Structure 1
């Protein structure tokens, strides 16, 4: 049994002499030592997903070790002179998981829980995400263990510039391109770009994406991840003969991804019945008035306290009686403890790694359709690629052009994954992993192993 490129895919760039791997159930599910996570968490989930794909594709231990192990990683100390004159020290990381298909691509996260294993997992997921939407990138990720809410804008600028200077040998428009993530934004990317450019002696907008329009950013980038989530949801619903006006939606996480996605769902006619952020949530049967919710958040900084809706916590939101659940906050929120209670028919992963391997198996057994993160939230990296292309050409596209190209790319990727899922009788996640892992492995084998 083989996993050929789906009929909807563009022609492969690898030579025709490259053989396709066969699927087998006989390869033992044993990860090489270098692939074994040291504790439970995002890395354990990522490694478990990879091990399953390796087993089905029939790759040997050497290929497994290569795909499981980051190509490069750096751990840096970041001293900060605080506004009051005192000194604080933070730890930062940058991981390039795989660069067989092109330069590394991945966000920069500022959060107090950041550690190297989390960054390794996120970088691996970026490898598969770029491959599943057929971008000429490998996967990378960065992070600093800092709570940005506790520091001034000037302090965050100094942290960003010092972090950039420490990892500068690893990054560049042909090496590794950063983008915003949790705790960072367009301004953060402008600081990274400026620090890198000043050290190189000329302006290099392609070193980051997700930067302000004034310094080479792209129209449509701020909402791209959310649009990709909505496109993926619509594609999944169409397979069941439904559309967005037919469903009720709950969105966990009301940040850069969740807030825009909730607004887009409502605009498309869906009834968004629940939303939440880190402080709490709202629930209203029949749907929330999203414009009023957004106005409330702009005024107060949280969805909490919105009049005309019942309060709900993040845990209870995950098991609400809705049709579509969108976990768009952080990883690991759907677990073996709550997967049996999920009432939604569709789970569309707006966040990276929100579903543990155990929960994924439970949801699949119950017939819940999970649109995986490496497909559902790939809209951000797709438009990041568009921004990078525009920077390389110094020619800028209209927002309508970007939206059209994003929709085409997302729907094409969904169709390719769905075709593999039907052919191989596997879940959408397994199909996305089979397709993306195979594409990375073919690129690696086509390039060969440097002595």
Structure 2
């Protein structure tokens, strides 16, 4: 992923005619931290994970970026995502630099107590290189307001009451109203502005969404509330489609009870990957990186791709789709709603 991110950077650097020295400064992280996390399971077994925090750039202010808990997390992922945060905060003109990190764990295989121990151990190990004026973590894949509360609590054990050490906290713990849906709302606004270019509104568009976690589900809800027609949705269980429009409030209730979109009675089941190539005006990849590659880019039927996830389109796929006239709204703009509301927090 880092190679792809840097390729996009070098294309921008060529356009701006940046010197080699400036390129080296901008592409090199300020600091890379890797820590070993050893905890006990509820059964007394030894658990072993690795934690990462890559701090990319401080030119515009304290570093800012999420913590991702996922088995694929590694130094390469963290470095790629950290650099994207640098560009993202600059694009929306908020006074932060970029950072990113996480732990190579699978929260779905852990109890809440196990996840808490892993998180607090991680904070203990990196506490000296985070803080309100240094580096401010936030939620990302498989982390949420509860996890941010744990981080605030653990950090405060060492440095006193300090709610500004993280954003995305519960509202009752000095979080911000609107933070939970902020990234999805930013996706909606980006699409809304694109449609304005030729006099259209959200109600004029059909939308396919890959990923129905925090970002995808909130984008679906907000777009549908403005009259947009969500025709296909997928998550880890598979996909569903209804050309007449999926009833998103009903789907949200279904997912709240069943955890997955699979089995939703008011839509047809489809393969999860088919959502990326479903016939719709708009495609929103809102899951993980490299969802669209050269292998499936030629099958994308949307006129615009809104990158709700980080790095969901590979460089080769990007070139293939733009040659066909498909517009791509990049992640550093489309999903910047989360960090914008984090700034308010």
Relative to the length of structure 2, the TM-score reads 0.99
Counterpart of 1:318 in 2: which secondary structure?
helix
Cα distance in 1 for residues equivalent to 2:65 and 2:93: 15
Cα distance in 1 for residues equivalent to 2:252 and 2:15: 45
State the partner residue of 1:135: 94
Cα distance in 1 for residues equivalent to 2:77 and 2:96: 20
Measured against aligned partners, the alpha-carbon deviations of 1:197-227 in whole angstroms (never above 9, x if no partner) come to 1101x21111000001111101000000000
Q: Displacement of 1:55 after TM fit?
A: 1.2
State the partner residue of 2:266: 308
Q: Displacement of 1:56 after TM fit?
A: 1.4
State the partner residue of 1:268: 226
2:252 pairs, out of 294, 316, 321, with 294
CA RMSD of aligned residues (A): 0.7
Report if the CA contact (8 A) 2:131-2:164 is conserved. Answer: yes
Measured against aligned partners, the alpha-carbon deviations of 1:339-374 in whole angstroms (never above 9, x if no partner) come to 111110110111000000111111111111111100
Q: Displacement of 1:61 after TM fit?
A: 1.3
Which blocks of at least 5 consecutive residues in structure 1 are unaligned? 1-41, 388-451
1:323 aligns with 2:318: no
1:117 pairs, out of 69, 76, 98, with 76
Counterpart of 1:101 in 2: which secondary structure?
coil
Cα distance in 2 for residues equivalent to 1:240 and 1:323: 14
Counterpart of 2:277 in 1: which secondary structure?
coil
What aligned pairs does 1:92-103 form with structure 2 within 5 A after superposition?
92-103=51-62
Report if the CA contact (8 A) 2:239-2:274 is conserved. Answer: no
State the partner residue of 2:148: 189
2:330 pairs, out of 338, 363, 372, with 372
Q: Displacement of 1:54 after TM fit?
A: 1.2
Cα distance in 1 for residues equivalent to 2:198 and 2:304: 11
Larger Rg: 1
What aligned pairs does 1:66-105 form with structure 2 within 5 A after superposition?
66-105=25-64
Cα distance in 2 for residues equivalent to 1:48 and 1:314: 28
State the partner residue of 1:382: 340
2:183 pairs, out of 225, 239, 255, with 225
2:307 pairs, out of 314, 337, 349, with 349
Q: Which moved more, 1:58-67 or 1:108-117?
A: 58-67
State the partner residue of 1:199: 158
Cα distance in 1 for residues equivalent to 2:76 and 2:265: 41
Counterpart of 1:128 in 2: which secondary structure?
helix
State the partner residue of 2:6: 47
Relative to the length of structure 1, the TM-score reads 0.76
Q: Which has the higher contact order (CA 8 A, sep 6+)?
A: 1
Cα distance in 2 for residues equivalent to 1:313 and 1:329: 15
Report if the CA contact (8 A) 2:39-2:47 is conserved. Answer: yes
Cα distance in 1 for residues equivalent to 2:66 and 2:312: 17
State the partner residue of 1:157: 116
Q: Displacement of 1:44 after TM fit?
A: 1.2
Aligned residues: 345
Measured against aligned partners, the alpha-carbon deviations of 1:356-399 in whole angstroms (never above 9, x if no partner) come to 01111111111111111000000000000000xxxxxxxxxxxx
State the partner residue of 1:449: none
State the partner residue of 2:241: 283
Q: Displacement of 1:311 after TM fit?
A: 0.9
Cα distance in 1 for residues equivalent to 2:173 and 2:138: 14
Cα distance in 1 for residues equivalent to 2:201 and 2:301: 19
